[in-house]
């Protein structure tokens, strides 16, 4: 049995064509091992051969599956258990409409679009049929529709739960439809039963389906208020939505959601849809690959995504917290307080109106100096900024100052101590629940690890001795100190400097990677210093380790920092060749630079860079700098807002101000 814990294994039902087939392709291209399933063995095998043509032969296998047949399901389960030993992702995509079309297939388009235009909150309208066609609906087809769409989904989930339990991050994605949202369920009793989330049970779902079939058999659908068009299909999707909520409570450690991929051009609607299968599959892919992190991934929710026109995120759950781009209410939508796509956005935050195409940024150490100014500049560009500071009072005061600039809608404050994992987790939860993603992380918080006694110009002389050599190939020279001052350096302060500057940056990035993954253009900007350049690192062993880009690892960075602290504790910094002035600060910035290079390799789709903003007049240098905070922040702003385009944005690089510079 092959059970490689590093691999992820997925099953997609109904995958020989359409959205299911395309999802298999997208998952496989992400490195997931995919079991493509189909009821018809010949068609499934043909689909597999097509995927092999994409160069995905190592990542896709075919297995026959009929979701109506418990024996067929059991055979698939045995295959997965004996071959892979676990399952990470189940996508229940198999489904039918329960009707046939006679005449013009555009009758389907008119029915679907009548519902679709009602999604943003208006009452459902009766479809005005002009196409010369009609839907043929029989009891047998209705029963088959419920058995395939709902009970087939249920059989699959019940059968593979034991294998999903063996996954570190089990995901179930149930393909639903906005036609199954409860606003389109015209039978009031059914709507009431299925909307009562607290009292929902599988038996109650069965009661609704059985009542529907009974009314169908007795030819009393209309008199009992069931939908006129596609009633079985609508109800099967309402049942899937309800079952998803039940499962999410039953399995709190799983991530189980239902999703409408939008009106996609497939056989099920006579290829009348407006979206491509690629666009439809992207919605499923996003839920199938929801990242793990500090915050729990969403579960028990419904999403509707669309990527082309002004469409909407909808569900059958209750919330009044949705606001459109134009401020119109669209009820019955929730995703932990936020649901979004490229045009619509929901929020319970006091920010009120938010656009889903907004960028969301976190800036650490932002109550003053460069961090504060960067918040102002980002907000002025329309970015929603979370200003953070360790001291709650100072952070709140900074927020009030920014509001005076007219940025009250674009800036919020949240307390953050980068030394405290609990504080970081609190910020992650806040952003996830309020915005649902993060686009930009600027790690600006930092300390020098020293204090100054006497003339503060002492600091200026040290910094300028290095600064004049930034673009010079000559070796660093000893600073000629004339000012009457000195630096006080203790082991405790040095340790705090490394913990704040380097490990604080590392903690923040590790915590926010899951939310950054949800961004279309994730950016990480690590504020560094020219004093961290390797030419100013006088310990030759440390310089050698940190300069070897090919062999750099986080463990090797840790080794360098631990050796430095050991030498500091043993009072052997000088004998071992460490820098004389602000050694912890220099080393923390060298470590940040090295970590930036490591991250850029680990996350090739991110733009991750480090930047020295220059010698800026701030508290950290006793306000001795030659640049203003506005000039300093501009360098960070440029990297934070690097545009997307045909060329991949730079990553894994060091910038001195706005110019590329060697490490």
Task: Please give the distance of CA 425 from its chain centroid, rounded to a whole number.
Answer: 16
Angle at 191 between CA 188 and CA 192, to 5 degrees: 85
Tokens coding 460 = 């200026």
Instruction: Tell me if residue 585 is catalytic.
Output: yes
CB neighbours of 426 closer than 8 A, spacing ≥ 6?
414, 415
Query: What b/e readout covers 84-100, taking b as 16+ CB neighbours within 10 angstroms?
Result: bebbbbbbbbbbbbbbe
Find out whether 13 and 94 touch, Cβ atoms under 8 Å. yes
Of 228, 229, 231, nearest to 208 by C-alpha is 231
- Spatial distance between the Cα atoms of 605 and 5, rounded to a whole number of angstroms: 24
| C-alpha span between 89 and 7 (Å, rounded) | 11
Helix (H) or strand (E) holding 175: strand 171-175
Give the three-class secondary structure for 473. coil
Distance between CA 646 and CA 198 in Å, rounded?
A: 49
What gap in Å lies between CA 429 and CA 449, rounded to an integer? 31
Segments of 430-516 assigned E as strands: 440-443, 451-454, 485-488
Give Cα 428 distance to the centre of its chain.
12
Contact 32, 89 (CB under 8 A): yes
HSE-up of 504 (CA within 13 Å, CB side)? 28
Helix H or strand E segment including 25: helix 18-29
Contact 235, 190 (CB under 8 A): yes
Catalytic residue among 585, 595, 603, 615: 585
The CA angle 111-112-114, to the nearest 5 degrees, is 65
Which distant-in-sequence residues (6+ apart) come within 8 Å of 122 by Cβ?
A: none
Judged on CB neighbours under 10 Å (0-12, 13-18, 19+), 465 is: middle
Q: How far apart are CA 199 and CA 193, in angstroms?
A: 8
Contact 128, 111 (CB under 8 A): no
| Euclidean distance between CA atoms 25 and 48, whole angstroms | 10
User: Rg of the Cα trace of the chain?
Assistant: 29
Report yes or no: 260 and 233 within 8 Å, Cβ to Cβ.
no
Alpha helix locations (H) across 468-547?
491-498, 504-516, 540-547
- Residues making up the chain, counted from first to last: 663
Residue 331 near residue 121, CB atoms below 8 Å: yes
CA distances (Å), origin 497, targets 231, 447, 485, 493, 565: 65, 6, 21, 6, 11
Q: Pull the structure tokens for residue 420.
A: 């405290």
Rounded Cα–Cα distance for residues 490 and 451 (Å): 9
Q: Are strands 485-488 and 451-454 parallel, antiparallel or unpaired?
A: antiparallel
Catalytic residues, by residue number, are 585
């Amino acid at each position: 049995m092959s059970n490689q814990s590093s691999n992820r294994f997925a099953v997609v039902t109904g995958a020989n064509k359409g959205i299911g087939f395309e999802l298999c392709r997208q998952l496989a291209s992400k490195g997931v091992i995919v079991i493509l399933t189909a009821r018809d063995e010949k068609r499934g095998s043909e689909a597999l051969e097509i995927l092999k043509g994409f160069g995905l032969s190592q990542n896709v296998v075919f297995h026959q599956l009929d979701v109506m047949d418990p024996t067929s399901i059991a055979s698939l389960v045995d295959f997965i258990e004996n071959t892979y030993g676990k399952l990470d992702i189940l996508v229940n995509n198999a489904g039918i409409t329960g009707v046939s079309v006679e005449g013009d297939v555009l009758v389907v388009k008119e029915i679907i679009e009548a519902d679709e235009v009602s999604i943003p909150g208006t009452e459902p309208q009766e479809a005005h049929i002009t196409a010369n066609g009609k839907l043929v609906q029989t009891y047998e087809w209705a029963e088959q529709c419920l058995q395939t769409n709902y009970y087939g989904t249920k059989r699959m989930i019940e059968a593979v739960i034991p294998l999903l339990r063996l996954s570190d991050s089990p995901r179930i994605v149930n393909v639903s439809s906005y036609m199954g949202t409860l606003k389109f369920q015209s039978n009031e009793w059914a709507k009431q039963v299925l909307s009562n989330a607290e009292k929902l049970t599988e038996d109650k779902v069965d009661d609704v389906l059985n009542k529907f079939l009974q009314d169908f058999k007795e030819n009393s659908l209309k008199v009992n208020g069931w939908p006129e068009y596609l009633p079985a299909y609508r109800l099967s999707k309402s049942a899937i939505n309800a079952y998803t909520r039940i499962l999410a409570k039953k399995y709190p450690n799983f991530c189980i959601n239902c999703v409408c991929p939008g009106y996609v051009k497939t056989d099920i609607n006579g290829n009348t849809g407006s979206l491509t299968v690629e666009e439809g599959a992207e919605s499923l892919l996003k839920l199938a690959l929801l990242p793990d992190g500090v915050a729990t991934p969403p579960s028990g929710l419904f999403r509707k995504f669309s990527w082309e026109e002004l469409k909407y995120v909808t569900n059958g759950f209750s919330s009044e917290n949705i606001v459109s781009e134009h401020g119109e209410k669209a009820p019955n939508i929730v995703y932990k307080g936020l649901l979004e796509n490229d045009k619509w956005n929901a929020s319970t935050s006091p920010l009120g109106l938010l656009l889903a195409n907004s960028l969301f940024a976190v800036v650490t150490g932002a109550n003053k100096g460069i961090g504060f100014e960067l918040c102002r500049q980002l907000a002025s560009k329309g970015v929603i900024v979370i200003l953070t500071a360790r001291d709650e009072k100072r952070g709140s005061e900074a927020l009030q100052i920014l509001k005076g600039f007219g940025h009250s809608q674009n800036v919020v404050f949240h307390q953050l101590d980068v030394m405290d994992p609990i504080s970081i987790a609190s910020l992650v939860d806040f952003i996830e629940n309020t915005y649902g993603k993060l686009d930009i992380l600027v790690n600006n918080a930092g300390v020098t690890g020293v204090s100054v006694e006497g003339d503060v110009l002492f600091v200026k002389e040290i910094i300028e001795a290095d600064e004049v050599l930034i673009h010079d190939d000559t070796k660093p020279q000893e600073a000629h100190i004339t000012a009457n001052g000195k630096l006080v350096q203790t082991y405790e302060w040095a340790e705090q400097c490394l913990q704040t500057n380097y490990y604080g940056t590392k903690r923040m990035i590790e915590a926010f990677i899951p939310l950054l993954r949800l961004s279309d253009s994730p950016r990480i900007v690590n504020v560094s210093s020219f004093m961290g350049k390797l030419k100013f690192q006088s310990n030759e062993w440390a310089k050698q380790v940190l300069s070897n880009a090919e062999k750099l690892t986080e463990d090797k960075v840790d080794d360098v920092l631990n050796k430095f602290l050991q030498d500091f504790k043993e009072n052997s910094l000088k004998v071992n060749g460490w820098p004389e002035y602000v050694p912890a600060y220099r080393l923390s910035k060298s470590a940040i630079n090295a970590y930036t290079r490591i991250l850029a390799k680990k996350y090739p789709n991110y733009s991750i860079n480090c930047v020295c903003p220059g010698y800026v007049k701030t508290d950290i240098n006793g306000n001795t700098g030659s640049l203003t905070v506005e000039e300093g922040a501009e360098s960070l702003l440029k990297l934070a807002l690097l545009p997307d385009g045909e060329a991949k944005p730079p990553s894994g690089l060091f910038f001195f101000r706005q110019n590329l510079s060697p490490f």
